[in-house]
């Protein structure tokens, strides 16, 4: 096994959130993580507000326009398993920087006239975000003794980025006097700014790179032999189904119930804003708890209130139902990401588990809007689609209940080769991380 690097001198004693670095360096690193997280949704959700102008200019059919919005989510699943192997070869830090570079390239491709490049850019951007989705939680796992608070900031930033992409794309275009292409292109500046902040702050991870082949049984998919990995995967997949299904159809559902069309998009934005609160709180609490089962139940209750209200009286206390759903989806997704971190004994295992869980989870989530749309067309209403989502809360909560127990995945010792070198960190065999959340 590779010897761990010797701890370097620090001007301050390492606190619960840092591993051997000054407070200022820790603050810069957290800022860089937040900057990366803010970039992981705008390039995707910014397409919806400009879709009408896009179709009028390009002549895309409804089916192809729908594919344009679904393609990045499919990429989230398809490219997630690539992230752990990339991290092994070039280091977590460099891999995250590469994902930002790819994201910038994808956004830039969409500025060019051919329609084919619009799809190619969306594919590249989706692949880039898929890598960051997996790599950032693993990086947080490695760099912070108690990752809950940082995971909360990371998850909340995902929601804020999504809300910004949905709410600001059109106003920015209007203020700048640009067309729909440049409206999408405005988010290129955010990606470049994050890259400029990330590279000097995060380091290169050169001492943690390895080209050694994985030992027998160390592949990411082999983790699914363990019930705990299957439960984490099922939880992230089923809660993603809830979010993407409702996010796709909420404005239409409310319009059919008599809510003004102009309010549908605002209410969806409200769900994302409230979701940021849930995303900030849930991981911070999860990191302090031996078992996260109370949080699993709290998320399920919030979903029950939100979906149940939309089923029983969508035009009544609409703000309450939408806010409850937003709190559930924000807290649920953040909790799912945090479970990946807490149930993994090392950062590499977190990347492997994240790759598998997000691959299957996002592929499942991409089917949600299609299934709900088919149910709506078949039943001429929203009662059956919402009822199906309510029933799906049962297996989601069951999977979360198992994933939230106080244990970690059992992995072969060779997995610690990549994880044994952070500044001031302990080896996995000696680390208290094996016993529970982040240093307990």
Residues 177-188, mean pLDDT to the nearest whole number:
90
Three-state secondary structure of the chain: CCCCCCCCCCCCCCCCCCCCCCHHHHHHHHHHHHHHHHCCCHHHHCCHHHHHHHHHHHCCCHHHHHHHHHHHHHHHHHHCCHHHHHHHHHCHHHHHHHHHHHHHHHHHHCCCCCHHHHHHHHHHHHHHHHHHHHHHHHHHHHHCCCCHHHHHHHHHHHHHHHHHHHHHHHHHHHHHCCCHHHHHHCHHHHHHHHHHHHHHHHCCCHHHCCCCCCCCCCCHHHHHHCHHHHHHHHHHHHHHHHHHHHHHHHHHHHHHCCCCHHHHHHHHHHHHHHHHHHHHHHHHHHCCCCCCHHHHHHHHHHHHHHHHHHHHCCCCCHHHHHHHHHHHHHHHHHHHHHHHHHCCCCHHHHHHHHHHHHHHHHHHHHHHHHHHHHHHHHHCCCHHHHHHHHHHHHHHHHHHHHHCCCCCCCCCHHHHHHHCCCCCCCCCCCCHHHHCCCCC
> What's the pLDDT band for 434 if we cut at 50, 70, 90?
very low
Q: What is the pLDDT of residue 85?
A: 87
Look at residue 123 and tell me whether its pLDDT is greater than 90: yes
Per-residue pLDDT of 361-399, as tens digits, reads 888 888 888 888 888 888 888 999 999 999 999 999 999
Per-residue pLDDT of 294-311, as tens digits, reads 999 999 999 999 999 999
- Summary mean pLDDT of the chain: 82
Q: What is the pLDDT of residue 388?
A: 94
Q: What is the pLDDT of residue 256?
A: 86
Residues 311-327, mean pLDDT to the nearest whole number:
91
> What's the pLDDT band for 262 if we cut at 50, 70, 90?
low
More confident position, 77 or 302: 302
> What's the pLDDT band for 203 if we cut at 50, 70, 90?
low
Look at residue 26 and tell me whether its pLDDT is greater than 70: yes
Residues 154-162, mean pLDDT to the nearest whole number:
89
Domains within the chain, CATH numbers bracketed: 23-208+219-435 (1.20.1250.20)
Q: What is the pLDDT of residue 310?
A: 93
> What's the pLDDT band for 412 if we cut at 50, 70, 90?
low
> What's the pLDDT band for 148 if we cut at 50, 70, 90?
confident
């Amino acid at each position: 096994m590779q010897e761990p690097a010797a701890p370097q001198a620090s001007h301050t004693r390492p606190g619960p959130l840092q591993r051997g670095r000054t407070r200022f360096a820790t603050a810069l690193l957290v800022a860089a993580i937040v900057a990366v997280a803010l970039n992981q949704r705008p390039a995707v959700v910014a397409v919806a507000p400009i879709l009408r102008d896009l179709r009028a200019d390009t002549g895309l059919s409804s089916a192809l326009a729908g594919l344009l919005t679904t393609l990045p989510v499919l990429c989230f699943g398809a490219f997630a398993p690539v992230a752990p192997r990339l991290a092994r070869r070039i280091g977590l830090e460099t891999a995250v920087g590469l994902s930002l570079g790819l994201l910038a390239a994808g956004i830039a491709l969409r500025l060019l006239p051919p329609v084919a490049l619009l799809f190619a850019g969306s594919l590249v951007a989706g692949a880039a975000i898929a890598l960051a989705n997996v790599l950032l939680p693993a990086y947080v796992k490695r760099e912070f003794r108690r990752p809950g608070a940082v995971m909360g900031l990371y998850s909340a930033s995902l929601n804020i980025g999504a809300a910004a992409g949905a709410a600001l794309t059109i106003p920015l275009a209007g203020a700048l006097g640009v067309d729909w292409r440049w409206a999408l292109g405005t988010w290129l500046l955010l990606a470049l700014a994050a890259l400029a902040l990330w590279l000097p702050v995060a380091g290169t991870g050169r001492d943690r790179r390895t080209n050694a082949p994985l030992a027998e049984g160390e592949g990411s998919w082999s983790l699914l032999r363990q019930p705990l990995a299957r439960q984490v995967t099922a939880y992230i997949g089923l809660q993603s189904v809830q979010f993407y299904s409702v996010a796709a159809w909420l404005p239409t559902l409310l319009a059919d119930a008599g809510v003004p069309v102009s309010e549908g998009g605002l209410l969806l934005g409200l769900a994302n804003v409230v979701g940021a609160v849930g995303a900030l709180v849930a991981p911070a609490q999860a990191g302090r708890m031996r078992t996260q089962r109370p949080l699993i139940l709290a998320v399920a209750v919030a979903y029950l209130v939100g979906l149940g209200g939309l089923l029983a009286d969508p035009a009544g206390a609409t703000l309450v139902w939408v806010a409850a759903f937003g709190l559930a989806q924000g807290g649920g997704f953040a909790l799912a990401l945090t479970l990946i971190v807490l149930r993994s004994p090392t950062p590499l295992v977190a990347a492997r588990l994240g790759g598998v869980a997000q691959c299957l989870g996002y592929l499942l989530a991409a089917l949600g809007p299609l299934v709900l749309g088919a149910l709506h067309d078949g039943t001429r209403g929203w009662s059956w689609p919402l009822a199906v989502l309510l029933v799906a809360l049962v297996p989601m909560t069951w999977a979360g209940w198992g994933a939230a127990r106080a244990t970690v995945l059992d992995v072969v010792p060779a997995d610690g080769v990549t994880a044994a070198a952070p500044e001031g960190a302990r080896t996995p065999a000696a680390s208290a991380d094996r016993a529970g959340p982040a240093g307990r």
